[in-house]
Amino acid sequence: MHSIVIFASGTGTNAQAIIDHFKQNGKAHVSLIVSNKAEAGVLEIAKREHIPFLIVDRNTFGQAMMLEQLTELKPDLIVLAGFLWKIPVSVINAFHGRIINIHPALLPKYGGKGMYGHHVHDAVVKSGDKQSGITIHHVDEVYDNGATITQAYCNILPSDSAGDVAARIHLLEHFYYPRTIEFLLEHL
């Protein structure tokens, strides 16, 4: 069975979708959840699902002890699911080609530092774009820059608020992210 480590900073809806997907099909399991926020909702999910978790701070993130813990788990993939910190080069090098992220827009538009969650959806609505979507991509040393794995689209109506767009984006994320992870694991 494949092993996944999830990095998340927020409520964990994508983490839950991933956990549920693999609980149902048995092709992988989440061996660890890493968060940079002690109050993140994803940690409640970890507790409820009996998944070990690690809380990191700026001093420990990417340092030898954390890398050692990750290496011992031998994850097939590290999956960023709403993780708001840039991944240190030490982690990228240790797990080269095995770290992926989901971004709530069609990259290269609306990417980069500070472009997450409602900030992205606000910018999309203000731009007047007729479509938005998600981008699942490999992680490199630059925010939202790694090679695209897949994108999925949704239409934006003239009357849509940022909240309306966010709701459609969540549906895309929860459907496509677990299935993309499964595809990648099958083709390692």
**135 labelled as ligand-binding?**
no
What 3-state DSSP class applies to 33? strand
Q: Is 163 annotated as a binding residue?
A: no
180 is in an annotated binding site: no
> Is 76 in contact with 98 (CB distance < 8 Å)?
yes
Phi, psi of 82, deg, nearest 5: 80, 35
Tally DSSP H helices, then E strands, for the chain. Answer: 6, 7
Note if 2 is an active site residue: no
The reply, when asked if residue 93 is annotated as ligand binding, is no
- CA pair distance 177, 60, nearest whole angstrom: 28
Catalytic hit among 2, 50, 96, 103? 103
d(CA 187, CA 185): 5
State yes or no: 14 annotated in a binding site.
yes
d(CA 98, CA 139): 8
Catalytic residue set: 103
Can you say which residues are annotated as belonging to the binding site? 12-14, 58, 101
Can you say which residues are annotated as belonging to the binding site for (6R)-10-formyltetrahydrofolate? 58, 101
